[in-house]
């Protein structure tokens, strides 16, 4: 593996000092490739932490522009970025934070057509989208392409997160089945979402990506972690083995 430069040794010294990371772990991070789908509430903190940790290559998928109502939670973007593409606004901040990291931008929504190609060059995907259609789509494409990823969802003062390594535990579809009817569930457009919930969950997603890249610790596999900010309760729900048609079609069920 490539040796670190003198500047990198200083920049990443507090990573390297962590026994579970060390010099080898830092080299793995610098070689790592992570795709973040959505540069909004979850994507902002995830991107900031992945970039400052020194993950070598980071892809960002988002076709949206920065809106005023985004700014109470999407901490990558500022009042000066209104109407700019989120990818451009993100790249601007992230490059200034750590020019070491190579950032690849995809100014488009994640779709059934482009999804496979988007995830194919990456080691790990962070699903930070803001709607069920995209959440199921990222899941299905990652399962079909056998790319590990971390899902999170947020609403009001509540959030949930789980990591999926295809075949090792339930996927998002194994648990949630299908896109719910819009009139049966609430959305952030109706009931809002608190910024710190996005911050907490997006940060957990970044932690999962880092652990995956360095190959240390226990990922959030087969477990759904829920976060209730109002009562400050984290809970873990044990999930079934892979059981959906997408896992079955990908031959991930024994």
Partner 1 sequence: MAIHITLNGKPHAVERRMDILSLLETLKVGPASVVVERNRNILHRDMFGSIVLKDGDELELIRFVGGG
**Given the DSSP bridges, would you call strands 223-228 and 158-164 parallel, antiparallel or unpaired?**
antiparallel
Using the 8-state DSSP alphabet, how is residue 112 labeled?
Answer: T
Q: Fill in the per-residue mask, 10 to 39: x = in contact with partner 1 (CB under 8 A), - = not in contact.
A: ----------------------------x-
Give kind and range of the element (H or E) at residue 103. Answer: strand 102-106
CB of 197 to partner 1, least distance (A): 9
Q: Directed axis angle between helix 86-97 and helix 43-53, to 10°?
A: 30
Would you count residue 180 as binding partner 1 (CB under 8 A)?
A: yes
Residue with tokens 């973040």: 36
Tokens of 174: 């194994």
Tokens encoding 213: 């890249």
Contact of residue 99 among Zn ion, partner 1, none (CB under 5-8 Å per partner type)? none
Cβ 147 to Zn ion shortest distance, Å: 14
Quick check: 225 binds partner 1 (CB under 8 A)?
A: no
How distant, in Å, are the alpha carbons of 66, 227, 250 from that of 200? Answer: 21, 9, 32
Which residue stretch of 50-58, 75-83, 100-108, 182-190 sits at the interface with partner 1 (rule: CB under 8 A)? Answer: 182-190
154, 171, 194, 198: which one binds Zn ion (CB under 5 A): 171
Q: Tell me how far, at minimum, the Cβ of 19 lies from Zn ion, in Å.
A: 35
Cα torsion for 168, 177, 115, 78, to the nearest 10°?
Answer: -100
Binding of Zn ion at residue 162 (CB under 5 A)?
no
Chain residues binding partner 1 by CB under 8 A are 38, 40-43, 128-132, 135, 152-155, 158-160, 174-177, 180-181, 184-185, 187-188, 193, 198, 224, 235, 237-240, 243
């Amino acid at each position: 593996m490539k040796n670190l430069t003198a500047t990198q040794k200083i920049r990443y010294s507090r990573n390297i000092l962590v026994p579970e990371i060390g010099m080898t772990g830092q080299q793995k991070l610098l070689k790592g490739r992570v795709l973040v789908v959505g540069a909004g509430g979850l994507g902002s903190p995830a991107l900031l932490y992945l970039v400052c940790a020194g993950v070598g290559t980071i892809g960002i998928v988002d076709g949206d522009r920065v809106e005023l109502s985004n700014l109470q939670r999407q901490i990558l973007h500022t009042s000066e970025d209104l109407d700019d593409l989120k990818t451009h606004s993100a790249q601007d901040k992230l490059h200034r934070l750590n020019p070491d990291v190579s950032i690849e931008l995809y100014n488009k929504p994640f779709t059934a057509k482009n999804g496979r190609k988007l995830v194919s060059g990456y080691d790990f995907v962070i699903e930070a989208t803001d709607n069920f259609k995209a959440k199921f789509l990222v899941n299905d494409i990652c399962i079909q392409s056998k790319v590990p990823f971390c899902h999170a969802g947020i609403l009001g003062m509540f959030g949930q997160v789980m990591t999926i390594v295809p075949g090792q535990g339930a996927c998002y579809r194994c648990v949630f089945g299908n896109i719910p009817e819009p009139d049966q569930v609430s959305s952030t457009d109706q009931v809002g979402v608190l910024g710190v919930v996005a911050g907490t969950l997006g940060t957990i997603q970044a932690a999962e990506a880092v652990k995956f890249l360095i190959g240390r610790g226990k990922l959030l596999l087969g477990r759904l972690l829920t976060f209730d900010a109002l009562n400050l309760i984290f809970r873990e729900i044990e999930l079934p083995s892979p059981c959906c048609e997408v896992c079955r079609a990908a031959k991930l069920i024994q």
